[in-house]
Amino acid sequence: MKLLTKMTKMAVFAASLSFVGTSIAAEPMNLDALLKTLEQGKSAQSEQNKQREQEFAARQNEQVQMLKNTQAKRNQMLSESERLETQFEENEIKLANLTDTLSKRMGSLKELFGVLQQVAGDSSNKFATSVVSAQLPGRSTFMDELAQKMGSTSKLASIEDIEKVWFELQREMTEQGKVSRFNTDVIVDGGNKVQKEVVRVGAFNLISDGQYLEYTPSTNTISQLTRQPSSRFTTTAADLQQANTGVVPFALDPTGGSILGLLVQAPDTSEQVHQGGAVGYVILGVGLLALLIALERFVSLLLMGGKIRRQLKDDTARDDNPLGRVMKVKDQYPNVAYDTLELKLSEAILREMPKITRNLTLIKIISVVAPLLGLLGTVTGMINTFQAITLFGTGDPKLMAGGISQALVTTVLGLVVAIPTVFLYTLLNTRSKGLLLILQEQSAGIIAERSEKGA
């Protein structure tokens, strides 16, 4: 307050000086007039200070009254708080007594309702994931609401609730032994919904149009698997959907989709071949080349053998088969000695040998090179695996799966190509040697015949 008074006096004094300065500038004034002016200003300032002190005193009384009102209200609230605390403690005692009385009156029923609550909660989760809910939706909602009602509010279940729980459990067990049909929307490739006839096999699988379906509990939708298992499984699904009576073999997934998911993720033959990489493609290329050469040689030797057998039954030599061309040597040199004829016949057989044994060596080389290519792919795959281990460690097996797959697949491809190629080479080599043996036998007979005539 003193500070406010000093500031007020300074402001009045500044105004007085300003007024005096203005008066002096406007009109000259003597010392007596100046003193009188100062006295008038001091008197006006005292009046203003008194007025302000009176206003402050009036406001101070108002503030004191407000403080008293607030303290009275606080005391009232404290009293109310004490009353409520006392009432809360009394209510807790009453609640504990009532709870104890309820527990005593319930007796064994309390255990029964506890089991009912647990069964309702477990059944809610079971019904939500069961494929039976695809045909009978909404069963888990009642179980979930009943479990929450008995758990949160401690409200007892009615006779109707208990009977409904029993009914739903019995219906679930009954439906697990049925194969039923129903029409519903199925999400196909592209995300479109199509109305289809769905066959439900117990609580295990859903099929439609010979394909396996997937039930999504979170959205209560049925969708077609983007990738189906092998044909030996889908064939049984088609047979089951087409059958009306009788016993039909069916590939059942007792895990409710887990095994089916693993079968779907398993790579088929084409995908396994692609895992071999560039080395695998090279192995398949040389294997295909060996197969084509073997087919050409097999057909050629088969036709050639048929012509030689026909030539054996005919004494007239023909140019359409190796034996006929060898026999013509005898007619071309009718008067030479048998030793000279022997050389001529050997020369003719040597000329026929490349035609009979053509490309057999290439098949043999491929049978040897294929396992070596498989070994090359194995080494390459292991190098990739160790590089992945060096960079990322062994925490994630998927990082090493690519290299290991290449290592194993190329080895398998090399053996798959080499083993049949060895059999083909052996078969063709045996057949070609048999034809050459016929030529040598007939040549020896011709030489013996010429030797007998010379003797």
- In order, the DSSP letters of 193-260 are EEEEEEEEETTTEEEETTEEEEEETTTTEEEE-SS---HHHHHHHHHHHH--SS-------TTSSHHH
- The domain total for the chain is 4
Of 150, 176, 202, the last residue of a domain is: 176
Residues 295 and 224 in one domain: no
Residues 337 and 432 in one domain: yes
Residues 304 and 203 in one domain: no
**End-to-end CA, the chain:** 166
Identify whether 93 is part of a domain.
no
Judged by DSSP in three states, 356 sits in helix
The two beta strands, 193-201 and 221-224, are unpaired
Identify whether 6 is part of a domain.
yes
Identify whether 414 is part of a domain.
yes
Identify whether 372 is part of a domain.
yes
Identify whether 101 is part of a domain.
no
CA angle 116, 120, 122 (to 5 degrees): 120
Residues 431 and 314 in one domain: yes
CA distance 347 to 134: 83
Given a contact cutoff of 8 angstroms between Cβ atoms, the answer to whether 119 and 165 are in contact is: yes
Residues 307 and 445 in one domain: yes
Residues 220 and 317 in one domain: no
Residues 282 and 416 in one domain: yes
Of 227, 256, 285, the last residue of a domain is: 256
Residues 169 and 208 in one domain: no
Of 226, 256, 286, the last residue of a domain is: 256
Q: Which among 420, 206, 195, 408 is positioned nearest to 293, based on CA atoms?
A: 420
Residues 196 and 172 in one domain: no
CA distance 438 to 452: 21
- Quickly list H helices, 107-131: 108-129
Identify whether 95 is part of a domain.
no
Identify whether 172 is part of a domain.
yes
Identify whether 330 is part of a domain.
yes
Strand partners, 195: 185
- Torsion sign, CA atoms 63, 65, 68, 70: negative
Where do we find the tokens 């000279």? 340
Judged by DSSP in three states, 383 sits in helix
pLDDT, tens digit only, all 455 positions of the chain: 444 344 444 444 444 444 344 444 444 557 777 777 766 666 677 777 778 777 777 777 778 888 888 988 999 999 999 999 999 999 999 988 888 887 776 666 667 777 888 888 888 888 888 888 888 888 888 888 888 877 665 667 778 888 888 888 888 888 888 888 888 888 887 778 888 888 888 888 888 888 888 888 888 888 888 888 877 888 888 888 888 887 888 888 887 777 777 777 766 677 777 777 788 889 999 999 999 999 999 999 999 989 888 888 887 888 888 888 888 888 888 778 778 888 888 888 888 898 888 989 999 999 999 999 988 888 887 877 777 777 776 666 666 666 677 778 888 899 999 999 999 999 999 999 999 998 888 888 888 887 877 65
Residues 292 and 386 in one domain: yes
Tell me the two tokens of residue 308. Answer: 């030689």
Given a contact cutoff of 8 angstroms between Cβ atoms, the answer to whether 276 and 286 are in contact is: no
CA distance 135 to 55: 86
Q: Which among 212, 185, 211, 180 is positioned nearest to 196, based on CA atoms?
A: 185
CA distance 36 to 23: 13
Confidence (pLDDT) at 152: 63
Residues 371 and 427 in one domain: yes
Distances (CA, A) of 440 to 90, 228, 350: 124, 60, 10
CA distance 43 to 38: 9
Residues 169 and 45 in one domain: no
CA distance 355 to 300: 10
Contacts of 445 (CB under 8 A, 6+ apart): none
Domain limits for position 412: 275-454
Note the Cα 200 to chain centre separation in Å. 25
Strand partners, 224: 213
Contacts of 378 (CB under 8 A, 6+ apart): 407, 408, 410, 411
Give the predicted TM-score (pTM) of the model.
Answer: 0.54
